Amino acid sequence: MRRTTGRLLRGLALLSTLALGATACGGSDDDSGQKAVSAGDIQTALKKGGTVNVWAWEPTLKSVAADFEKKYPKVKINLVSERSGDKHYTALSNAISAEKGVPDVAQVEYFALGQYALTKGLTDLAPFGADKLASKYSPGPWNAVSEDKAVYGLPMDAGPMALFYNKKIFDKYKVAVPTTWDEYVEAARKLHKADPKVFIAADAGDAGLTTSLLWQAGARPYKVDGTNVEINFADPAAKKYTDTWQKLIDGKLLAPINGWTDDWYKGLGDGTLATLPSGAWMPANFVTGVPQAKGDWRAAPMPAWTKGDKASTENGGSSLTLPALGKNKELAYAFVKYANAEDGVQTRVKQGAFPATTADLQSTEFQNTKFDYFGGQQANKIFAESAANVADDWSYLPFQQYANSIFNDTVGKAYISGTKLTAGLKAWQDASIKYGKEQGFTVK
């Protein structure tokens, strides 16, 4: 028996050593100096052909990939689109840390770009000539993908915000569509008083919406300079948001329904929810998710924080990037450029994507598109104007993904208990600072 235990222990020791060895091999970084890649190099690569592995859930990319393969018959695009959001990032992070199975092209939302760029997970596209594409894009998305001289991805779409509202409900109770957030609170009170089943909007605590509204109000809670990070939710602009939203929470004017749940879709369809502040990518979701309310909804510009102020904000939007450990970089870049700066954009716009390229945003064809779902409204005019009015000096945290995951642990308390929104934001700030310090950032 004793002998067996001895052997077992030795086996265990061997196993642990193996595990140690396996992990110790990681962490070599050698491709720091990047050489410029000329257009000629890319053409040669395209003629030579190869396979590009793409991880992206954007649905319109399917036909873009098919068109690209038709144009360059020797190139094969292997599109993996089953994963989205958190699952996608977990898989991507795991592949990068395992240094195995890393895709050549990956979709990354603007809020998550910082983390991958900072940890050297992405290829700088400036040597490929991407820095010369700056003028093609709206300032908001371009600011999100570029840092100093580096460009970490090409903007795929944008989410300039608009206020979607149920016209039928507003007409029925003779309430004017709000143009400022103060009017919004008033409208919320009137509608809820006229019918206690009607709420101005659903909000049970959503990090994306909160940061977008702070952005519009002029607050800049995150200041990021490399590994130096500053987090502060207590500036006067943030107070504009907290004061207004606190009124909505205290008056129980927001439906406690989480976004993207069955209840949420039902609420949008049956008149329970009167408005939805969301990104310009929302119409396609209305068509598929809320078909029963076709014709009821319209788009309007976001309410202003002070009357006459046109400042808008972004919600969502993503880019295509080249992970540093991916292969076939010339081909990968050619595909990204085709999809997000060349012919692919048109294909995607036709299928309902909201472009980040100014030329497409300003084209009359795009602006005059009538949305059947919105009763024939030319909603793109509103979205395009919103896109032009987005302040471009906003930045997300280099660990925004994590910060968003604990939003409901902290700020969420304000929605369900006596905790004030300002106290909730302070708790979020503290928890984010703690995490930042643990991860080696210099946080103030």
Partner 1 sequence: MTTLQPPVAAEPRPAPPPARRDRRSWTGWGFIGPFVAVFALVFLAPIAYSIYLSLYRNQLIGGNSFVGLDNYKLALQDDQFWASLGRVSLFLCVQVPIMLGIALLVALALDSGRLYGKSFFRITIFLPYAVPAVVATLMWGFMYGTEYGLVGDINQAFGVTLPDPLSPDLVLASIGNIVTWEFVGYNMLIFYSALRVIPHSLYEAAEIDGAGQFRVITAIKLPAIRGALVIATIFSIIGSFQLFNEPNILRKLARNAITTDYTPNFYTYSLSFNGQQHNYSATVAIIMGLITMVIAYAVQLRGMRKGA
Q: CB neighbours of 249 closer than 8 A, spacing ≥ 6?
A: 414, 415, 421
Burial bucket for residue 213 (CB in 10 Å: 0-12, 13-18, 19+): buried
267 scored as a contact of partner 1 (CB under 8 A): yes
**Least distance (Å) between residue 258 CB and partner 1:** 6
39 scored as a contact of partner 1 (CB under 8 A): no
Distance (Å, rounded) from C-alpha 297 to C-alpha 289? 13
Helix (H), strand (E) at residue 254:
strand 254-255
Helices in 318-420 by DSSP H: which ranges? 329-340, 343-350, 358-362, 364-367, 379-388, 400-405, 407-410, 413-416
Q: Which residue has the tokens 């144009």?
A: 71
Using CB under 8 A, which of 5, 20, 148, 149 touches partner 1?
Answer: 20
- φ and ψ at 202, to 5 degrees? -100, 125
Using CB under 8 A, which of 321, 398, 425, 427 touches partner 1?
Answer: 398
Sign of CA dihedral 393, 397, 402, 408: negative
Of the pair 93, 378, the CB lying nearest partner 1 is at 93
34 scored as a contact of partner 1 (CB under 8 A): no
Burial bucket for residue 168 (CB in 10 Å: 0-12, 13-18, 19+): middle
Site for partner 1 in 189-248 (CB under 8 A): 204-205, 227
Q: Interacting stretch for partner 1, rule CB under 8 A, among 5-13, 333-341, 349-357, 360-368? A: 5-13
306 scored as a contact of partner 1 (CB under 8 A): no
Q: What single-letter amino acid sits at 341?
A: A
Q: Which residue has the tokens 């503290």?
A: 430
- φ and ψ at 56, to 5 degrees? -155, 140
Do 170 and 274 contact (CB within 8 A), yes or no? yes
180 scored as a contact of partner 1 (CB under 8 A): no
Q: Interacting stretch for partner 1, rule CB under 8 A, among 153-161, 212-220, 281-289, 407-415? A: 407-415
3-state secondary structure of 353: coil
- Number of residues near partner 1 (by CB under 8 A): 47
**Least distance (Å) between residue 395 CB and partner 1:** 16
Binding mask 132-171 for partner 1 (x = CB under 8 A): ----------------------------------------
Q: Which residue has the tokens 């930042």?
A: 436
Using CB under 8 A, which of 245, 373, 394, 415 touches partner 1?
Answer: 415
Of the pair 120, 381, the CB lying nearest partner 1 is at 120
Do 117 and 147 contact (CB within 8 A), yes or no? yes
423 scored as a contact of partner 1 (CB under 8 A): no
**Least distance (Å) between residue 415 CB and partner 1:** 5
Q: What single-letter amino acid sits at 320?
A: L
Distance (Å, rounded) from C-alpha 394 to C-alpha 223? 8
323 scored as a contact of partner 1 (CB under 8 A): no
93 scored as a contact of partner 1 (CB under 8 A): yes
Q: Interacting stretch for partner 1, rule CB under 8 A, among 214-222, 282-290, 372-380, 399-407? A: 399-407
Do 75 and 46 contact (CB within 8 A), yes or no? yes
Of the pair 223, 327, the CB lying nearest partner 1 is at 223
15 scored as a contact of partner 1 (CB under 8 A): yes
Q: Binding residues for partner 1, per CB under 8 A?
A: 3, 8, 11-12, 15-16, 19-20, 23, 26-27, 86, 90, 93, 115, 118-119, 204-205, 227, 255, 257-258, 261-263, 266-267, 272, 398-399, 401-402, 405-406, 408-409, 412-413, 415-417, 435, 438-441
